[in-house]
Structure 1
Amino acid sequence: MYDEGDFYETHLDCFKNFKNRVVTTVYYLNDEWGEDDGGELIVYDKNNNFLQKVIPEANTLVVFMSENFPHEVLAAKKRRYSIAGWFRIDKV
């Protein structure tokens, strides 16, 4: 759950010097969400060129390679719900 005004600055979903997060998944749970509600996921390529804007509408699933796609989440204008997860490789 993300409150009104919550956001994420541009980042990768893998930690520096670690490659354990391989695939990122985000599943949105927001009924009746419109572009005016904000909270969009913005995805970039490795050179920070815009690729895609995803509105966090219910039953939308986003999947991308964690270390290849910088992304950000714009500030939402109302409470936003999503489930984020990662397919991981844990190295010993």
Structure 2
Amino acid sequence: MYELSGFDVTRTNQYFKLTTHPFLFDSLNIPTWSRLQKPFIPTEAFMFRNYDEMMLLANTNTYLSGQFVNLIKCIGSTKGPFL
């Protein structure tokens, strides 16, 4: 497993679209990849969620229970408001 840092997630420009997806990874400087020596999440528990399920959580105060939620270091935006 790897850790990726140095990027921001932004909305796609509606007037100049590079993709049909509503979000883009925006590189702040040089994104860094680092291999985790000891993964925090067991490999068998690692999975991507359905896009529609994740969008249901946007702009809600939903509490995400679980033992790995405390590993999120920082959620922020340099471009504007959150989703």
TM-score w.r.t. length of structure 1: 0.24
Q: Which has the higher contact order (CA 8 A, sep 6+)?
A: 1
Greater strand content: 1
